[in-house]
């Protein structure tokens, strides 16, 4: 037995290297193209989602009954007795929706409205507050009083809690 070794020629190894480099470059280009395509796809989906959310936010702000710049000002809880029966007590907690461009100090306006609400609550009877109609009338009366006291700067009075004992 003779060992026969077939020597590689210089041309064969150079051809193999160039084929390998060509395949490597081709795989790299395919990978780069696939990555760029995926990045474009994700970018388009993200842009579509962002535009959809912006449209939803605009639609939501257009349905609000007040301007987005309206501020919420919480009033101190008001506790007083009712006119009839005089042993009945009412505790009212409310907030005000105020316009952004206020004339004067907010604290002074808030105290003025709290004093007016307290005076009004002292004139109520238990019959005025019975049922959902009574609560609705209370809300409407407080809204009117707040708008008059603030010269229209209060948009709405939000009743947070009303407890009668």
For 68-85, what is each residue's pLDDT tens digit?
A: 678 889 999 999 999 988
Q: Tell me: pLDDT of 10 over 60.
A: no
**33 and 106 share one domain:** no
Residue 37 belongs to some domain of the structure? yes
**152 and 104 share one domain:** yes
Q: What is the pLDDT of residues 131-143, one digit of tens each?
A: 899 999 999 999 9
**17 and 52 share one domain:** yes
Residue 120's nearest CA partner among 129, 133, 131, 132 is 129
CATH number for the domain including 145? Answer: 3.30.479.30
Domain of 29, in residue numbers = 9-63
Residue 142 belongs to some domain of the structure? yes
Run of H or E including 81: strand 78-81
Two structure tokens written together for 135: 């609560």
| Higher per-residue pLDDT: 152 or 119 | 119
**76 and 146 share one domain:** yes
Q: What is the pLDDT of residues 93-110, one digit of tens each?
A: 999 998 776 777 888 899
**16 and 59 share one domain:** yes
**What pairing do the DSSP bridges indicate for beta strands 71-74 and 78-81?**
unpaired
SS3 content of the chain, % helix, strand, coil (to 5): 55, 20, 25
Residue 32 belongs to some domain of the structure? yes
**40 and 97 share one domain:** no
Q: Tell me: pLDDT of 5 over 60.
A: no
Q: What is the pLDDT of residues 40-65, one digit of tens each?
A: 999 999 999 998 888 887 776 666 66
Torsion of CA 46, 48, 49, 50, to 10 degrees: 90
46 Cβ neighbours under 8 A, 6+ residues apart: none
Residue 15 belongs to some domain of the structure? yes
Domain count, the chain: 2
Two structure tokens written together for 10: 């210089």
pTM: 0.60
**119 and 160 share one domain:** yes
Across the chain, mean pLDDT equals: 86
pLDDT score at 71: 86
Q: Is 130 exposed, middle or buried (0-12, 13-18, 19+ CB in 10 A)?
A: exposed
**77 and 144 share one domain:** yes
Contact 125, 164 (CB under 8 A): no
């Amino acid at each position: 037995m003779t060992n026969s070794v077939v020597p590689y020629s210089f041309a064969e190894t150079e051809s193999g290297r160039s084929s390998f480099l060509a395949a490597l470059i081709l795989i790299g280009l395919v990978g780069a193209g696939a990555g760029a395509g995926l990045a474009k796809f994700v970018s388009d989906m993200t842009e579509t989602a962002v535009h959809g959310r912006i449209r939803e936010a605009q639609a939501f702000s257009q349905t609000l009954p007040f301007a987005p710049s309206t501020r919420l000002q919480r009033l101190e809880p008001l506790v007083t007795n009712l006119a009839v029966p005089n042993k009945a007590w009412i505790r009212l907690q409310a907030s005000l929706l105020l316009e952004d461009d206020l004339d004067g100090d907010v604290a002074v306006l808030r105290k003025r409205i709290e004093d007016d609400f307290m005076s009004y609550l002292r004139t109520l009877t238990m019959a005025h507050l019975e049922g959902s109609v009574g609560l609705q009338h209370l809300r409407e009366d407080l809204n009117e009083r707040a708008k008059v006291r603030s010269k229209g700067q209060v948009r709405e009075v939000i009743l947070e809690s009303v407890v009668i004992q």
